[in-house]
Amino acid sequence: MNENELLEPLNEEECDFVSTLSNLEIQNNASKTRIRRNWLDVLETLLRDHKKIHHPKIPISDDKEALVIVISDNHFGKIRHSLKPPYKEVFNLKIADKRMSQLFDEAIEEISHNPAAYDQVKICMLGDHIEGDGSTYPTQGFLTDDIVHAQTAAFITSLNKNIKKLNDFFIETYDKLLPVDFHWVPGNHGTPKSKLSRHPDDNWDKGVAKAWETTIRSLQLHDPNIMKNVTNEYKTNLGDSQSININIKGWNFHLRHIMKKSAGTPSSDREAFVLHGIHNADVVLTGHYHYQLIVEVGKTTIVRSSSMCGYDDFADTIAAPYSQASQMILSVSKERKIKKIITVYFKD
């Protein structure tokens, strides 16, 4: 199996964005700026043509719990072999899709244990969702390579499939849809190193979040009720901030891709205290370092998610502790900011 076969995008004929994206012609002789603008034009044209349908908000109760799915550092499309014996693991688009399905299966299983307890799902997207060119810090211009197109199409297709699965479960279990809210913050893949050479708002996660928005809208052209329970919050201007605050059952969750690597050191504790002071953060959800960490600093709980691709060249470069490929699911109630933490370890 060669690299091109591993990176073959998944198909989703009913999604205008994925079909457009998969067939987008890249003019290799054109300037990066021109390619980048062509790509942005695809997104902006679809967003303009596919008007957003505003559905009434689905009511939630303070007496119920929220299920929080934390998705960070997927690196969809990364091809790698394990750095630990037996050196046989390969991570690619198909494995990434399988692991995404495992994560949503675990979320569905958690709700099914006590359906009456939950009334909403929050999906916190913490960045670095596609891999790019495979270097430790890919920094090409915004979505300039066809490899990124394939990765984005595959990621969006996988996400679409799993949200459909989640909604089918809601209808079967509750005979109605529960609200599913996406909240995105950007990672550092595709971010330009120099603001002079590329626009500072360029970032692949921003593009992926817009791609997901166009997917929702294009599906609703076929049926306005498809994903009527799904909202999608993402930063339109990375220059403003690369973090967001969201309220979950009365608790303030602060989402950002990167915090200081170490925990329990004066500098990392200071950062946590600053975040609590500035953002009144009860919980900080973060990623980037490809290993899991949960620590209390004052009144703030720091929750760092691992990576879907597991220990890799980046983790090795920064001498991170070895961590199995995993993601996290939290339950949140009015009484407890984190009632339960489920670490989903992936098995292929």
Query: DSSP characters for 262-287?
Result: -SSSHHHHHHHHHHHHHH--SEEEE-
d(CA 16, CA 14): 6
CA–CA dist 159, 214 (Å, integer): 13
Domain contains 78: yes
Q: Distance between CA 215 and CA 20 in Å, rounded? A: 11
Residue 27: pLDDT above 50?
Answer: no
pTM for the whole structure = 0.85
pLDDT at 261 exceeding the cut of 70:
no
Higher pLDDT, 343 or 36: 343
Min mean pLDDT across 207-211, 243-247, 268-272 is at 268-272
In total, how many domains does the chain have?
1
269 closest CA partner among 306, 304, 291, 302: 302
Query: Is 15 contained in some domain?
Result: yes
Q: For residue 268, which of 229, 234, 304, 241 has the smallest C-alpha distance?
A: 304
Closest CA to 157 of 7, 12, 59: 12
pLDDT score of 332: 97
Confidence of residue 205 (pLDDT cuts 50, 70, 90): confident
Percent of the chain with pLDDT over 70: 71
Residues near 11 by beta carbon (within 8 Å), at least 6 away in sequence? 18, 22, 157
Distance CA 10, CA 12 (A): 7
* Higher per-residue pLDDT: 117 or 93: 117
Residue pair 288/258 in contact (Cβ under 8 Å)? The answer is: yes
Per the domain annotation, does 35 fall within a domain?
Answer: yes
Range(s) of the domain holding residue 229: 3-242+324-343
The three-class DSSP label of residue 33 is helix
CB atoms within 10 A of CB 72: 28
* Encoded tokens for 93: 């688009």
Percent of the residues in the chain that have a pLDDT greater than 90, as a whole number: 34
Q: Supply the pLDDT for residue 86.
A: 52
Tell me, yes or no, whether 298 lies in a domain. Answer: no
pLDDT of residue 10: 41
Instruction: Please report whether residue 260 resides in a domain.
Output: no
Between 252 and 26, whose confidence is greater?
252
Segment 91-99 shows an average pLDDT of 85
CA distances from residue 64 to 50, 232, 250, 331 in whole angstroms, order as listed: 34, 22, 12, 10
CA distance 110 to 26: 43
Distance CA 9, CA 18 (A): 9
Q: What is the pLDDT of residue 296?
A: 87
Structure tokens, 319: 């001498």
Residue 216 has pLDDT above 80, yes or no: yes
Distance separating alpha carbons of residues 178 and 320, to the nearest angstrom: 38
Q: Which residue has the higher pLDDT, 48 or 35?
A: 48
Whole-angstrom Cα distance, residue 205 to residue 233? 12
pLDDT value for 237: 53
Phi, psi for residue 80 in degrees, rounded to 5: -150, 155
For the chain, how big is the Rg over CA atoms in Å? 19
Judged by DSSP in three states, 331 sits in strand
pLDDT value of residue 85? 55
- Average pLDDT, integer, range 251-274: 77
Would residue 11 count as lying in a domain?
yes
Inter-axis angle of helices 204-222 and 32-49, to 10 degrees?
30
DSSP β-bridge partners for residue 344: 327
Q: Minimum mean pLDDT among 20-29, 91-100, 293-302, 309-318: which range?
A: 20-29
**Residue 233 main-chain phi, psi, to 5 deg:** -105, 125
The confidence band for 135, taking pLDDT boundaries of 50, 70 and 90, is low
Flag whether 332 is in a domain: yes
List the structure tokens of 264. 């329990």
Q: Is 272 or 104 the better-scoring residue by pLDDT? A: 104
Residue 89 domain-assigned? yes
Q: Is pLDDT above 60 for 192? A: no
Residue 110, both tokens: 């958690």
Return d(Cα 185, Cα 140) in angstroms, integer.
19
What rounded mean pLDDT belongs to the chain? 78
Query: Which pLDDT band, with edges at 50, 70 and 90, does 235 fall under?
Result: low
